[in-house]
Chains A and B, each alone.
Chain A
Amino acid sequence: GAVVSQHPSWVICKSGTSVKIECRSLDFQATTMFWYRQFPKQSLMLMATSNEGSKATYEQGVEKDKFLINHASLTLSTLTVTSAHPEDSSFYICSARARLARETQYFGPGTRLLVL
């Protein structure tokens, strides 16, 4: 149980284009989903928290117009990197938390984004 999927796992795009990453909880309803960014050999950096049916809460320093988050249902959240630039190249990971999950987050496999 508690499986989270992410799609795509790899994406290469040209500078200036937008990229959408999907995060799905496959066997549970996720009241809250999280988006992280991870640089090589570093820990996870929380970008934003999204709750189903409401606007995402962004961490300080994260541009909300750059990283659009939509949590349309209890099993799906999307992160759109708008007008991507090479500095947006990174590893993006989502996680999901179920109701009554005692603060436990289950993570997706991550998406590697390379902007050329």
Chain B
Amino acid sequence: AQTVTQSQPEMSVQEAETVTLSCTYDTSESDYYLFWYKQPPSRQMILVIRQEAYKQQNATENRFSVNFQKAAKSFSLKISDSQLGDAAMYFCALAQGGSEKLVFGKGMKLTVNP
């Protein structure tokens, strides 16, 4: 069975600083995909970043980057130059290759202080 664990329920960061959100996962498959989704107060789920397990290079999207440690089954999200609009719930998720389902972590609430 696949599992996704986000052990920190809440974090806060000062505006313009950097914060790292942690996520660990477990799967027996070699073909899988990892995602970070953001859910702001509007509750719209927004895809932040995606990582294919077969790619060694860490994914980057503007101020968002991941640290993908495959052997350790760790997938952390780094947010640089934090902005007030980054305040949201962040969900880490896993999908096995060929499987249609996403397995979500419990989420982590990020607060950005001005």
Contacts and interface: CB of A to CB of B under 8 A. Distances in A.
A46 B49 CA distance: 21
Given A91-B43, A103-B33, A43 B91 contact: yes
Contacts of A79: none
Contacts of B104: 43-44
Contacts of A102: 33, 50, 52
A75 interface: no
Contacts, number: 52
Interface in B63-114: 91, 95-97, 99-102, 104-107
Interface in A31-73: 32, 34, 38, 42-44, 46, 49
Q: A interface, by DSSP: helix, strand, loop or mixed? A: strand
A99 to B, nearest CB: 12
A55 B95 CA distance: 22
Contact of A49 (B50, B52, B100, B107): B100
A32 to B, nearest CB: 5
Contacts of B35: 104
Contact of A104 (B33, B91, B97, B101): B33
Interface of B: 33, 35, 37, 42-47, 50, 52, 91, 95-97, 99-102, 104-107
